[in-house]
Amino acid sequence: MLSRRGFLAGTLAAGVPSRPHAETGGAAPAVLRIERRGIEVNGKSASVLGIRQPGGAFGITTEVGKRFRVRVENHIEEPSLIHWHGLTPPWQQDGVPGISGPAIPPGGSADYDFPLRVGGTYWMHSHYGFQEQLLLSAPLIIRDADESSSDQDIIIELSDFSFTPPEMIYADLKARQASNMEMPGMTMQDMNMQEMGMQDMAMPAKSSAPDLNDVQYDAFLANSRTLDDPEVVKVETGARVRLRIINASSMSAYHIDLGQLEGDLIAVDGSPVQPVHGRSFPITVAQRLDIALTIPKTAAAYPVVAVLEGERRQTGIVLQAGKGQVTRILDMAAAASPPLNLDLERSLKAVAPLADRKADRTHAIDLTGAMQGYQWSINNVAWNKDVPPLSAAEGERIELVLTNQTMMPHPMHLHGHTFQVVAINGDRFAGALRDTVLVPPKTSVTVAFDANNPGWWAFHCHLLYHQHAGMFATLRYV
Ligand SMILES: [Cu+2]
């Protein structure tokens, strides 16, 4: 049974390839074109994908209270479909091929139309194949009236880039793991224990280091540029600015380093949090950070960089205040940044938390991996269309207890809902509202949400190659 809300919206729009049909009235839709584009990476040209308006703007900036009335046109040579990451549309407009609806064929288009009730920093990306690795992503900013305290919005979209085609990256990952029979940082003994379901036994000290960055990228980009030739954003001295940082990387997490600046983290994943002051903030794949800061009175160039977790490699942009002189920034930080942890997560408090309520339904979800052959799964099941969805009923408060049984971190994303982080390793607290949460190795994170958007929804690891390998499930209630 489809809900009336979902069904009506679905028949109107719904990621269905559009044919000539009567307009439904109101403003003409904004057009977004999926297209090929060229960029320069470390002095070499690269052909990537992008999603732009006919005027050239990447993605969309709009306002709370408006409708998301968009036509996506596919101008590339293969099918595609765009997911509105963090938004809560009717499920048929969520942009996951095979679940929300069919992909848009080459030359085709699809229409979307739903209300935007909440502001924030969101993003859009292809959910088709490996297109996200080819930079088929863009900002999706919904401005809110109460954001007028800043003079200037500055978007920083982070990406990881490889000259190697993603299909080959994936094949290499599969082959490498199969031939080594071992993940770096994991002993054969651990693997046997995993296979035997004995993960909770004492681990040899050797295996305590997390396994990070299993794809070796050629470059890390901020707004499609490297630090060789970074974007330079002019700002006024003394201005209040709002950084909207989007981690659109396929596999890479970072620590944002504000350098000489300090700022207040005011929102995560689009949802306001009680401000946290600092100069370094972690961001895993698919998350967003909104940071408010005041540019000093001194004319100078202020780099804002993202340092890859566990390494020195970095990317970023430069804020040029007044006539400040811009100098070359190295693409290596002075020191390696540590692996991401949940210290910040533990301290975050949503400005508008969920109502306090006991869960009506709790799903225990193990994030699992058989290390041989780069197999990733949920509850030891690699996704296929016959896997039953997680159950839910409209109106319930649901909790997901996400337990990472592996040695890699997994950024877990639920479509169509905003959840609250309510426990880490069983310690309850009322944390941030999010749509993507980091679950570090051998750690459990509990999230709660209200089942208020019926449909069939994806739930998956946002590391592209983990998702592709099967760390993917669905939630369904209609
Ligand atoms: Cu993962």
pLDDT tens-place string over residues 311-361: 999 999 999 999 999 999 999 999 999 999 999 999 999 999 999 999 999
Please report the pLDDT score of residue 409 as a whole number.
Answer: 96
pLDDT in the model for residue 195: 41
pLDDT above 80 (res 146) = no
- Cα 461 to the chain's mean position, in Å? 10
How remote is the CA of residue 404 from the centroid of ligand 1, in Å?
A: 9
The pLDDT tens digits of the residues spanning 197-254 come to 434 333 333 445 678 988 999 999 999 999 999 999 999 999 999 999 999 999 999 9
- Residues within 5 Å of ion ligand 1 by Cβ? 410, 461, 463, 466, 471
Query: In the structure, what pLDDT confidence band is assigned to residue 148 with cuts at 50, 70 and 90?
Result: low
Q: Is 395 exposed, middle or buried (0-12, 13-18, 19+ CB in 10 A)?
A: exposed
For residue 57, report the distance from its CA to the centre of ligand 1, in Å: 31
- In this prediction, residue 150 carries a pLDDT of 80
Q: How confident is the model at residue 428 (pLDDT cuts 50, 70, 90)?
A: very high
d(CA 138, CA 50): 7
Q: Vertex 218, ends 216 and 220: CA angle to 5°?
A: 100
Is pLDDT above 60 for 86? yes
> Does the pLDDT at position 303 exceed 90?
yes
Which whole number is the average pLDDT over 284-307?
97
Q: What percent of the chain has pLDDT over 90?
A: 83
pLDDT (0 to 100) of residue 211: 85
Which tokens go with 324? 């400040």
C-alpha 406 to ligand 1 mean position (Å):
9
Q: Residue 93 — pLDDT band, cuts 50, 70, 90?
A: very high
Task: Decide: 307 and 258 in contact? Cβ < 8 Å.
Answer: no
Give the side-chain half-sphere CA count within 13 A for 292.
Answer: 14
Report pLDDT digits (tens) over 444-477: 999 999 999 999 999 999 999 999 999 999 999 9
CA-wise closest residue to 132 among 470, 467, 437, 464: 464
Of 217, 471, 243, 224, whose CA–CA distance to 367 is shortest?
Answer: 471
In this predicted structure, the answer to whether residue 149 has a pLDDT above a threshold of 80 is no
Q: How far is the CA of 457 from the centre of ligand 1 (A)?
A: 18
- Does 151 or 360 have the greater pLDDT score? 360
pLDDT band at 41 (very low <50, low <70, confident <90, very high): very high
| pLDDT for 295 beyond 60 | yes
Say what the pLDDT of residue 369 is.
93
Confidence of residue 373 (pLDDT cuts 50, 70, 90): confident
The rounded Å distance from CA 98 to ligand 1 centre is 21
Per the CB < 8 A criterion, the answer to whether 421 and 427 are in contact is no
Rounded to the nearest angstrom, the distance between the alpha carbon of 251 and the centre of ligand 1 is: 9
Name residues whose C-beta falls within 8 Å of residue 295's C-beta, 6 or more positions apart in sequence: 235, 236, 237, 238, 239, 240, 241, 261, 302, 319, 321
Token pair 């929300």 is found at 100
Using DSSP's 3-state secondary structure scheme, residue 181 falls into: coil
| Whole-angstrom distance, CA of residue 467 vs CA of residue 478 | 25
Other C-beta atoms lying within 10 Å of the C-beta of residue 238: 13
> For residue 177, what pLDDT is reported?
56
How many A from CA of 465 to the centre of ligand 1?
8
Among candidate residues 228, 463, 429, 460, the one with its CA nearest the CA of residue 340: 463
* Angstrom distances, CA of residue 63 to CA of 29, 144, 360: 15, 6, 34
Calculate mean pLDDT across residues 405-414.
96
- Confidence bin at 178 (pLDDT 50/70/90): low
Share of the chain above pLDDT 70, in %: 87
Centre of ligand 1 from the C-alpha of residue 105, in Å: 29
Is pLDDT of 392 > 90?
Answer: yes
Whether the pLDDT of residue 394 is over 50: the answer is: yes
Report the chain's C-alpha Rg in angstroms.
Answer: 22
Q: How far apart are the CA of 469 and the centre of ligand 1, in A?
A: 9
How far is ligand 1, taken at its centre, from the CA of residue 322, in Å? 43
Distance from residue 418's CA to the centre of ligand 1 (Å): 20
Q: How buried is residue 293: exposed, middle or buried, by Cβ count under 10 Å (0-12/13-18/19+)? A: buried
**Rounded to whole angstroms, how far apart are CA atoms 124 and 127?**
9
CA distance 407 to 458: 23
Q: How much distance in Å is there from the Cα of 464 to the middle of ligand 1?
A: 8
Mean pLDDT of all residues belonging to the chain: 89
369 CA → ligand 1 middle, Å: 9
pTM of the full predicted structure? 0.90
